[in-house]
């Protein structure tokens, strides 16, 4: 019996990669907002792994999915910009308050 009759051709098998998991929608939404902790917890619970392993799984997935990685980068940049605005506001307010109290 020829070997080709025992196994289907490779092209007939669906392309799946065990190294790049697909995440549930809540994890994708949390990553899109830049909330890493909200994304790591469900991955940990679903796969039964530790924090560092879950973070590695997410980082591997983001490297393989550039569109999602770009959204995460944009969300983190927006969060840093908002934090910087609040910091400037608080420093200016504190400086103004100190000026008027002296």
Average pLDDT of 11-17? Answer: 47
Average pLDDT of 56-76? Answer: 83
Exposure letters 9-27 (e unless 16+ CB within 10 A, then b): eeeeeeeeeeeeeebeeeb
Q: In the structure, how many helices (H) and strands (E) does the chain have?
A: 4, 0
Residue at 67 is within a domain: yes
pTM above 0.75, yes or no: no
* Residue 88 CB-density burial (10 A; 0-12 exposed, 13-18 middle, 19+ buried): exposed
Exposure letters 51-73 (e unless 16+ CB within 10 A, then b): eeebbebbeebbeebeebeebbe
Q: What are φ and ψ of residue 97, in 5° steps?
A: -65, -45
The pLDDT value given to residue 91: 94
Domain containing residue 33: 21-101
- Distance between CA atoms of 27 and 36, rounded to whole angstroms? 9
Q: Which residue has the higher pLDDT, 12 or 68?
A: 68
Residue at 53 is within a domain: yes
The pLDDT value given to residue 17: 47
Residue at 77 is within a domain: yes
Residue at 64 is within a domain: yes
Quote the number of domains for the chain: 1
């Amino acid at each position: 019996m020829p070997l080709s009759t025992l196994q289907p051709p490779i092209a007939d098998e669906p392309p799946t990669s065990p190294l790049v998991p697909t995440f549930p929608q809540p994890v994708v939404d949390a990553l899109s907002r830049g909330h890493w902790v909200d994304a790591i917890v469900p991955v940990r619970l679903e796969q039964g792994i530790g924090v560092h392993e879950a973070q590695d799984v997410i980082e591997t997935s983001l490297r393989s999915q550039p569109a999602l990685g770009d959204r995460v980068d944009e969300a983190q940049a927006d969060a840093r910009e908002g934090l910087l605005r609040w910091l400037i506001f608080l420093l200016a307010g504190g400086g103004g308050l100190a000026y008027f109290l002296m």
